[in-house]
Amino acid sequence: MGEGFQYRDGTLFAEDVPLPAIAAAVGTPVYVYAANAMRAAYRRLAGALATVPAGRRTTLCYAVKANSNLAVIRTLGREGCGGDVVSVGELRRCLMAGIPADRIVFSGVGKTRAELAAAVEAGIKQFNVESLPELEILSQVAAEQGRVAPVALRVNPDVDALTLKQITTGTRDAKFGIDIERAPDLYRHARALPNLDCGGIAMHIGSQVTDLKPFRDAYQRLADLAKLLRADGFPISRLDLGGGLAITYRDEVPADPDGFAALIEDIVGPLDCELMLEPGRVLVGNAGLLLSSVIYPKTDLARPFLIVDAAMNDLIRPALYGAWHAIVPVAEPRPGTPEAPVDVVGPVCESTDCFAQARHLPPLASGDLVAFLSAGAYGAVMAGEYNTRPLVPEVLVDGARFAVVRKRPTFAEMVAGESMPDWLDDRPAAAGAP
């Protein structure tokens, strides 16, 4: 079910709030996040790292791309978490949410000159640079501001994360990072560039990694590179180990945080470097769900369908990756209630607007509430307005209280940024206008 969500007296709750109360106040579909589940996930990982010397030199920088809601970022920031950002927008979100610049790292394969300039001016902790052109532009931007930019070259260790192809980033054919074999040459080039502190190395092999072996293989390559660079006179003092720790969606068995901490101590602990980790999904994934209402069952076809008011524009992961999300009724079924296979679909005019096929569910009727579990990561943050459907709202629950932390826009707000060119504007011209 996920920490923070449980049945009580036959009704699904988010912490101490019954989900029907949120549906009545906000409407559906709506994302619901459990603040204490996020805190627990952060403390679990931070606590495991605190048991080893290397972990005590580690800054956890939340991967904001997983869920960039300001209230989510602030909830984790107040726990001591930093931020890992991939755009100037995410950087501004972190700063707005109260995360100081010296706890923010800037990743991403396509940072623009303007984004680099904004991050240099903000004074962030580190730039994870992914190409030679980016390195040269960052040097120019830092020189223009009279500042020194702290740099880690993101290397590609050519290690398969053994996860979905779409979320693997550390193999040789990925667009991310620098071939690890070329890294020494790029560090030598960087040494000749002004206004750069090239004292770091970074890597990130992918997301939803369940096995520790890919981490071990990648971190060993990182450690070997650090030793090689040090022997060449580079004062390597910072290592960004990336993120990728998995959660349970269906039957996955995530890596144990204590074992992960021990692996870090074993492989990179002897280097005595300052470390950064970029956890995202593992902090928020199971702390969120998507609450939806049944529009109606459709049983007059060759196969039965359950049409709900959530759609692929609200939660795109099943359409994009074939991802699995557990779907449960908010009203707990009585023991022994029969289940039958049904396709759970949304109202968007696309055949790919399908959340599940032949999913075994109890009988559900129009107006019944269902919850898509493990939707706190890569859910609302990837939502859109396809079919002119309003962006799904978000609610944060903290104990017995809840608040809307992103409202559902009105139609007027949805079209406010659009305008009609003058040759299509049929409104009468103002008096005296040419």
The residues annotated as belonging to the active site are: 349
User: Which class for 299: exposed (0-12), middle (13-18), buried (19 or more C-beta within 10 A)?
Assistant: exposed
Helix (H) or strand (E) holding 252: none
91 and 122 Cβ atoms separated by less than 8 Å:
yes
Longest dimension (CA), the chain: 80
Q: Distance between the two ends of the chain, CA-based, in angstroms?
A: 65
Angstrom distance (rounded) from CA 407 to CA 414: 12
The DSSP string of 18-82 is: EHHHHHHHH-SSEEEEEHHHHHHHHHHHHHHHTTSTTGGGEEEEEEGGG---HHHHHHHHTTT-E
If one counts every other C-beta atom within 10 angstroms of the C-beta of residue 16, the result is: 13
- Long-range Cβ contacts of 319-324 (<8 Å, 24+ apart): 319/350, 319/352, 319/353, 319/354, 320/166, 320/382, 321/164, 321/166, 321/167, 323/249, 324/249, 324/250, 324/356
Per-residue DSSP letters for 320-340?
Answer: HH-----EEESBPPPTT---E
Q: Of 166, 378, 164, give the one whose Cα is nearest residue 280.
A: 378
Give me the amino acid identity at 148.
V
The residues with which 322 forms a beta bridge, in sequence order, are none
* Beta carbons of 358 and 296 less than 8 angstroms apart: no
Assign 88 to helix, strand or coil: helix
Q: Alpha-carbon Rg of the chain, whole angstroms?
A: 24
Q: Which two tokens stand for residue 199?
A: 């004292």
